[in-house]
Amino acid sequence: MSVLTLGDAGFVPDITDEAPEETPAERSGRLATSADLYRRWERQQWSVAEVAPRRDAETWRALRPFSKEQLLGSLAELEVGEVCVTQTLGSLTDHPQTEDDRIYLCTQMADEARHVRFFQTYIQDACGVPLHEQEGRELEAAADYANVFAPELTKVTGEVRTDGSPEAWYRALVYYHLITEGVLAATALRTTRFLAKRLNLTALDEGLTNVTRDESRHVSFGLRAATDGVTAGYRQVITDAHFEAVDMAAWVLIGPARHNPAPAIPVALQGRAAQLQGSVDIGRERLLKQLRIIGLPELTERADQAWTAGIDKALDAYQERWDAPHPIRAAASA
């Protein structure tokens, strides 16, 4: 399903959509407004308690060490990202462009808090990693998002609080809704849901499905708000924010700080590289598609080049950090 519909009240693009091009609805339809999204939020409630992450504990214990390590890394990136966006959304809520935006953003704050609780509960109850102890602290500290993107997101959202101008608000919107959520979270959720299904982690699959539904609303808000901003004369600040953030997003997606050894068996190496390259391609598709939707299609070629350069820079950093090629490069040279 490529688009989640809401009758005649606008549409919400599905952030897990595999199609790189806009659907007919995206080309001709109206993005859901903040009021539309509020009404959708009222109907789409869920609870961490009902998901019951602990029911995956037995299945988790039976996983191979490699699968555990792979999933824990992904879950840690998502958890750290959710903590950061929960801490930084308030400034956007304090200085909205409309009162409907303020009301909708208050619902998003509740969503983000629920996401933090879900990921933290899952890591502790299903994976058996106590986040308040050394193992958990090291897991969070290794997340590239925490070290690379979170400081910049904190900075640009803080500027909204001190400045309060539309320019500051739209810049923070791009960092928050379109890059953090629309590119990084959308990519991580899609790949992690795939792993959850493949490994029969039913609670994780259910929880990620709920989180994805929420994030589709959040990204839809960002797309609609950015579209309005382009129309209202804030094209340059929205453009600049994208190119400020692209390099950091590519870095987080590769994750040079986390060891990702290349399998020695050629078939396994090609499979692992294809999986990782798939995530890179998803991130690229999300970035270019969003630019087209918000009314900046002329930027896609430049953004594509910036994305490729950012990925190459991160792959170089990985090789320098671990004195070995990243699996993507190892497979390409095999």
* Domain range list for the chain: 34-333
Name the DSSP class of 175: I
Spatial CA neighbour of 249 closest among 327, 313, 318? 313
C-alpha angle with apex 138: 133 to 141, nearest 5 degrees?
125
Q: Could you please state the CATH topology (level 3) that the domain comprising 34-333 is classified under.
A: Ribonucleotide Reductase, subunit A (1.10.620)
According to the model, what pLDDT value does residue 50 have?
A: 97
According to the model, what pLDDT value does residue 18 have?
A: 54
Residues in the chain: 334
Spatial CA neighbour of 205 closest among 51, 59, 68? 51
DSSP string, 83-124: HHHHHHTHHHHHS-SSHHHHHHHHHHHHHHHHHHHHHHHIII
Q: What is the value of pTM for the model shown? A: 0.91
Checking 317-324 for CB contacts under 8 A at 24+ apart, the result is 317/251, 317/254, 317/256, 318/254, 318/255, 318/256, 318/260, 321/256, 321/257, 322/259, 324/261, 324/262
Spatial CA neighbour of 195 closest among 187, 204, 186? 204
Q: What is the mean pLDDT of each run of 10 residues along the chain (334 residues)?
A: 43 62 56 93 96 97 91 93 95 95 97 97 96 90 90 96 95 97 94 94 97 96 96 98 96 91 88 92 95 96 97 96 95 86
